[in-house]
Amino acid sequence: MERNEARVRIEKLRSQLEEYGYHYYVLDEPIASDAEYDQLMQELISLEEQFPEFISDDSPSVRVGGEPLPFFEKVEHRSPMLSLGNAFSEQDLRDFDRRVRQTVGDEVSYSCELKIDGLAVSLLYENGRFLRGATRGDGMIGEDITHNLRTIPSIPLRLKEPIDIEVRGEVFMPKRSFETLNKAKEEAGEEKFANPRNAAAGSLRQLDPKLAAKRNLDVFIYAIGNISGKDISSHHQGLRYLKEVGFKVNNESRHCETIDDVIAFTNSWLERRADLPYEIDGIVIKVDSVEQQKELGFTAKSPRWAIAYKFPAEEVVTTLLNIELNVGRTGVVTPTAILKPVTVAGTTVKRASLHNEDLIREKDIRLGDSVVIKKAGDIIPEVVNVLADLRTGDEKEFLMPTHCPECESELVRLEGEVALRCINPECPAQIREGLIHFVSRNAMNIDGLGEKVIEQLFSHNLVTNVADLYQLERDELHKLERMGEKSVDNLLEAIEKSKKNSLERLLFGLGIRFVGSKAAKTLAMAFGEMEKLQQASVDELLAINEIGEKMADSIVSYFQKPEVTELLSKLESLGVNMTYKGPKPVAAEEIVDSPFANKTVVLTGKLEALTRSEAKEKIEALGGKVTGSVSKNTDLLIAGEDAGSKLTKAQELNIEIWTEQKLVDVLNQ
């Protein structure tokens, strides 16, 4: 076949396969047999192998999976992927409705849709072509899983219109695929997945896309994050448009005029959900009007215009076999119920938290008891109560130990606390849990140092404190399970990279009691250097906004310990950064003169010189408040390239508009 003839045939095959796929996976209306589809796909793959110059990222052939990746890259979402607030009762829904109407008035309607139990993803398209896909991550930054998402047939690689759009969806594993996968795992003697959600998440976390391609994943697209050149006035209109351009949208959504209609819709799915070919764990309710959504705005964590109604937790009866004790990084000893395995809300439950000794006494929980188990919010297994009437007399009372189950030091109960605590700083369990915390995402964020690797390092006596992580040798790592050449290279690179982290990450990673990630950032901004913080008095700490007495006492006590001084000195000698690298705190008198002082600012479009999170951080450091939507309360809009509806709205409201270059110029001043 001639080159020109091959190009024409390849394009025709792609268009034909895309159309077949759209009807099969999106519309659920097949227009070709499986045999015909497979035959055309094989022809396309063969032609692309003969003429590799015509290979394209949006070809249907990429769905079979490409080469494995060494690791997942971090990517920033163009608009935040916020989580939703939860409702667990009819009254919660009515309270949500009341709050909404207090802001936007009584003329409000809702869009209701099934809450698919899977993994949230963001998909980015430019000029109608699939560019990138990412996990939610922390809402601002996720992991690039494009290579795996391309293998999902229901995700279009080319849209029916050449638009720039970022959409949100839920990747899930259908029940039938889940059963097939677990059957294969059982036959291979491997551990089965607990539920379809875990299976879907695990599949998308594969570095080899060929493995993800075999898992038969699916997706429903449920929202538009950003779109250029298209005016969408309601959520329902947005869903219709998504389907028109080629996305798979769940057909069970409904427009509801009143909160009574919403409640009726949620109740109708309590029993019917079992008949669906996929798992759902609730209903998502959204204010339908986009204009009203903008008026309602957001809290720090979630939109005020949406809520997730979670189905009542399923309760089952099982036997409490034993109570296991775990020692955390702060020394707290937590009892955990070991249960006869039982299925709750689609998940096999073998353990449930008992929180503390007082709860065990209050509920009179004994070994061998028949207990009622539920998953609170369909997430955390919990012992609801004991069925005392079913006792046989063989049950045994459980007594909390007087000494640490890990190091045998005497346990204490500090004044005002219900928890028993091991206060031995050399306790192996505390050291191990402290290491796991130190490398976690919100702390030093060392990729590849998961819980299992830390446990291996600890059990092989390769690490006894966090400083040891920065002295690991290549030969030592090769001795660990599943540590090949690439894994070791990636891990050592991640450890080296973490040395450059800003001070607040190190502060949080050290695990100082009462100091969370937000307080660590506040402290890092206030003192700038670790040495200055080490020397700070209680009064100096209390002078900082958001630092209370308990936290101040804890910080001073921590830095007075000789072993802490030695540890920090060691970390510094190993090259770990001890200074704050973020935007410098601005004095109150400077903020008064700041162009952002007490102003509400919105960022939109693509920013080139700064990431969106950097711009937000700098504006807030100068007294501004950055929000996600334009309203009459917005004072300033920063418009990057391809700014869309937010720019139009700001122009309509006569809001001051800056280019990104003006923002950079002002910040440089």
Q: Which residues contact 552 (CB under 8 A, 6 or more apart)?
A: 538, 541, 542
- pLDDT over threshold 60, residue 68: no
Residue 500 identity (one-letter amino acid): K
CATH of domain 85-310: 3.30.470.30
Check residue 595 and report its DSSP letter. T
* Angle at which helices 34-50 and 3-21 cross, to 10°: 150
For residue 20 the two structure tokens come to 């077949």
Residue 20 identity (one-letter amino acid): Y
Model confidence at 376, pLDDT cuts 50, 70, 90, reads low
Least confident of 398-402, 404-408, 419-423, 622-626: 622-626
CATH 3.40.50.10190 domain position(s) in the chain: 588-668
Report the topology of domain 315-390: OB fold (Dihydrolipoamide Acetyltransferase, E2P) (2.40.50)
**Correct CATH for 503-573 of 1.10.150.20, 3.30.70.20, 3.90.1150.10, 3.40.50.20:** 1.10.150.20
Share of the chain above pLDDT 90, in %: 42
C-alpha 501 chain-centroid distance: 21
Q: Which residues contact 112 (CB under 8 A, 6 or more apart)?
A: 253, 254, 255, 256, 262, 265, 266, 283, 284, 285, 286
Highest mean pLDDT among 40-44, 417-421, 530-534: 530-534
Strands 85-87 and 306-310: parallel
What is the sign of the dihedral through the CA atoms of 162, 163, 166 and 170? negative
Residue 654 identity (one-letter amino acid): N
Q: Which CATH architecture has domain 3-64?
A: Orthogonal Bundle (1.10)
- pLDDT over threshold 70, residue 570: yes
- What is the arithmetic mean of pLDDT over 390-398? 94
- pLDDT over threshold 70, residue 27: no
CATH top-level class of 428-498: mainly alpha
- pLDDT over threshold 80, residue 37: no
- pLDDT over threshold 90, residue 320: yes
**490-525 pLDDT, tens digit each:** 999 999 999 999 999 999 999 998 898 888 988 998
Model confidence at 28, pLDDT cuts 50, 70, 90, reads low
**322-348 pLDDT, tens digit each:** 999 999 888 889 899 999 998 876 678
Model confidence at 588, pLDDT cuts 50, 70, 90, reads low
- The model carries a pTM of 0.52
Q: Catalytic site residues? A: 115
Least confident of 24-38, 270-284, 286-300, 593-607: 24-38
pLDDT at position 246 is 92
Residue 272 identity (one-letter amino acid): R
Question: Is 436 within 8 Å of 133 (Cβ atoms)?
Answer: no
CATH 1.10.150.20 domain position(s) in the chain: 428-498, 503-573
pLDDT at position 62 is 65
**281-302 pLDDT, tens digit each:** 899 999 999 999 999 988 767 8
CATH superfamily assigned to domain 588-668: BRCT domain (3.40.50.10190)
Strands 370-376 and 85-87: unpaired
CATH 1.10.287.610 domain position(s) in the chain: 3-64
CATH 3.30.470.30 domain position(s) in the chain: 85-310
The alpha helices in 105-204, defined as continuous H runs, are 146-149, 175-187, 196-204
